[in-house]
Amino acid sequence: MKVPASASIVTRNLADITSENGNVYEAISIISKRANQLSVKLKEELADKLAEFATTVDNLEEVFENREQIEVSKQYERQPKPTSLAIEEFVAGELHYETPEAAPVVIPRELF
């Protein structure tokens, strides 16, 4: 599920985002929830990769620069942001979501 997403800022047409359901707020909510999922996944991947370089040394003098660790960090910094990925997935129609049916509102008789 690789969607090409830009690493820089892109101006979006609001009609493209709301074309499917017509509700701006619902579209933004769906995109933000997907962006949060992607963010958590990326953070876990980065933490796993950086854990390989972790040391148990508490002395600051013994901490040294690890070029591999820096390259891994830079690689993740160059990736598109989770929000950009989520927007691209939404616009491409790759996100599957369900909207719960609204419950009927019962108006008490004394308000008539």
**49-97 per-position pLDDT tens digit:** 878 776 666 555 445 557 777 888 888 888 889 999 999 999 888 888 8
**Is residue 1, in this structure, part of any structural domain at all?**
no
**Is residue 41, in this structure, part of any structural domain at all?**
yes
**Is residue 106, in this structure, part of any structural domain at all?**
no
Is residue 11 over pLDDT 90? Answer: no
**Is residue 16, in this structure, part of any structural domain at all?**
yes
User: Domain total for the chain?
Assistant: 1
Q: Domain limits at 79?
A: 11-56+64-88
**Is residue 39, in this structure, part of any structural domain at all?**
yes
The pair of structure tokens assigned to 103 is 């419950």
Look at residue 111 in the predicted model and tell me its pLDDT.
Answer: 66
- Specify the pTM: 0.69
3-state secondary structure 51-94: HCCCCCCCCHHHCCCCHHHHHHHHHHHHCCCHHHHHHHHHHCCC
Give dist(CA 26, CA 109) in Å, integer.
Answer: 33
**Is residue 30, in this structure, part of any structural domain at all?**
yes
**Is residue 20, in this structure, part of any structural domain at all?**
yes
**Is residue 105, in this structure, part of any structural domain at all?**
no
